[in-house]
Structure 1
Amino acid sequence: MPPPNPAALDFLLTRRSRPAKTLTAPVPTREDLLPILTAALRSPDHGKLEPWRLIVLERAALMRLAELVGERGKALGRTPEEIDKQRLQYADGGLAVAVIASPVDSPKVPHIEQILSAGAVCLSLVNAALASGWGANWLSGWASHDRVFMANGLGLAEHEMVAGLIHIGTETTPPPDRPRPDLDTKVDWVTQ
């Protein structure tokens, strides 16, 4: 058996995302962010296809996207409440990293595995930010699934999609723990 890493396991057993609305300045600098991004991209990647990319959204970019949310929400017939909730996700943010699923054609690796790899990047990014002492939260929402928003706001190609928006900042209020899944209801042991 390889030597255990109790500190890493303890971190994973106690990790807790921080609600984006509780994150504030300061946010990581580019220098602070580089090891976090490097760790995130060490995610599982069958075939070494790198079917994802990252877009770091600083404050001005988030404000521009908040404005676009308002425009798109009206065009899509969203309620004022839906628009405002989604708009504030961008307007209240100081820094976010958009994880973009960018699958490539591969005879060996199905697109679904590539999409799941982008999801793994999202979780790794959250965990790397938390391990670095920052607060972090993985969000999405209706705007990030709208093709016009993706193309006009983030410059995504037709085959790309937002896997997640990872908000990173300074934690203002530690969140209470929440109920966790009951292993007895979620795990089956197959012995034969």
Structure 2
Amino acid sequence: MFENKEALEFLKIRKSVPLTQLTTPGPDEKQLAELLEIAARVPDHGRMEPWRFILYRGSAVLEAGEALAAIALKKNSSMSDEELQRERNRINRAPIAVGVVSNVVDVSNIPEWEQFLSAGAAAMNLVTAATAMGFGANWVTGWYSDSAEGRRILGLAPHEKMAGIVHIGSYDRAIPDRPRPDVKALTSEYTGPYQAS
């Protein structure tokens, strides 16, 4: 058995960096390629590869932000300038944002939900790898993930879902930890089939 104590200690303290604290620089091309390779190293029953990545950066991100803001304004015409600006910056909050797209493969023996979980695992691997590389990362979804038009603007096909957008950048201050769950309270021994109380 091979035990990697350093990795275990790292996983115990991993935390997300708030989006407002992510700044330049982000990963370079070589680092980004390595991060995506690690992200793809996830459980994938049947080797379906039921996910893909979209890189959001540069001027295209600004255009997407304007389009998302226009949709948000249609839904809520009384938005303040500040709220509208926040919508414009949804995808532009770090040097790079990586969309992890669930691209379910239509096969009868591997359920859709299992393939979607594989995409979620890819998003979490990306967050963990970026953090291990010394960057800050934050995995978010937003209203646009539940909007067919929002997904289209972000480059998804009609059948695809956004498992999440991982924003990656640098940060320059200590990030306080948040309260963590009481794992003992969330854990039980199996005693037989579920029975309602």
User: Equivalent residue for 2:58?
Assistant: 59
Tell me: CA distance 1:79–1:135, structure 2 relative to 1, closer, same or farther (3 Å): farther
Question: Which runs of 5 or more structure 1 residues have no equivalent in the other structure?
Answer: none
CA drift of 1:76 comes to 2.6
- Runs of 4+ in structure 1 deviating by more than 4 angstroms, as ranges, are 81-84
CA drift of 1:58 comes to 1.0
Q: What is the rounded CA distance, in whole Å, between the counterparts of 1:66 and 1:5 in structure 2?
A: 42
Alpha carbons 2:56, 2:91 under 8 Å: kept: no
Segment of structure 1 superposing worse, 27-36 or 45-54: 27-36
User: Equivalent residue for 1:133?
Assistant: 134
Tell me: CA distance 1:78–1:39, structure 2 relative to 1, closer, same or farther (3 Å): farther
Segment of structure 1 superposing worse, 177-186 or 47-56: 177-186
Amino acid in the other structure paired with 2:91: Y
CA drift of 1:155 comes to 2.5
Q: What does 1:71-82 align with in structure 2 at a 5 Å threshold? A: 71-77=70-76, 80=79
Residue 158 (structure 1) aligned with residue 158 (structure 2)? yes
User: Equivalent residue for 1:87?
Assistant: 88
Q: What is the rounded CA distance, in whole Å, between the counterparts of 2:78 and 2:104 in structure 1?
A: 33
Q: What is the rounded CA distance, in whole Å, between the counterparts of 2:6 and 2:180 in structure 1?
A: 20
Q: Secondary structure at the match of 1:90?
A: coil
Amino acid in the other structure paired with 2:174: P
Deviations, residues 7-53 of structure 1 (Å, cap 9, x unaligned): 11111111011112101011111111011100000011111100000
Amino acid in the other structure paired with 1:130: T
Q: What is the rounded CA distance, in whole Å, between the counterparts of 1:125 and 1:30 in structure 2?
A: 15
Tell me: CA distance 1:145–1:31, structure 2 relative to 1, closer, same or farther (3 Å): same
RMSD: 1.7
CA drift of 1:69 comes to 1.5
Which of structures 1 and 2 has the bigger CA Rg?
2
Q: Percent identity at matched positions? A: 39
Alpha carbons 2:16, 2:136 under 8 Å: kept: yes
Tell me: CA distance 1:93–1:65, structure 2 relative to 1, closer, same or farther (3 Å): farther
CA drift of 1:77 comes to 3.0
User: Equivalent residue for 1:187?
Assistant: 187
Residue 70 (structure 1) aligned with residue 98 (structure 2)? no
CA drift of 1:88 comes to 2.8
Residue 102 (structure 1) aligned with residue 139 (structure 2)? no
Q: What does 1:27-38 align with in structure 2 at a 5 Å threshold? A: 27-38=26-37
Alpha carbons 2:65, 2:88 under 8 Å: kept: yes
Tell me: CA distance 1:172–1:80, structure 2 relative to 1, closer, same or farther (3 Å): farther
Tell me: CA distance 1:146–1:12, structure 2 relative to 1, closer, same or farther (3 Å): same
Tell me: CA distance 1:83–1:186, structure 2 relative to 1, closer, same or farther (3 Å): farther
Alpha carbons 1:96, 1:167 under 8 Å: kept: yes
Q: What is the rounded CA distance, in whole Å, between the counterparts of 1:177 and 1:125 in structure 2?
A: 20
Q: What is the rounded CA distance, in whole Å, between the counterparts of 2:68 and 2:78 in structure 1?
A: 12
Question: Which runs of 5 or more structure 2 residues have no equivalent in the other structure?
Answer: 193-197
Q: What is the rounded CA distance, in whole Å, between the counterparts of 1:171 and 1:141 in structure 2?
A: 23
User: Equivalent residue for 2:195?
Assistant: none
Q: Which has the higher helix share?
A: 1
User: Equivalent residue for 2:173?
Assistant: 173
TM-score scaled by structure 2? 0.89
User: Equivalent residue for 1:19?
Assistant: 18
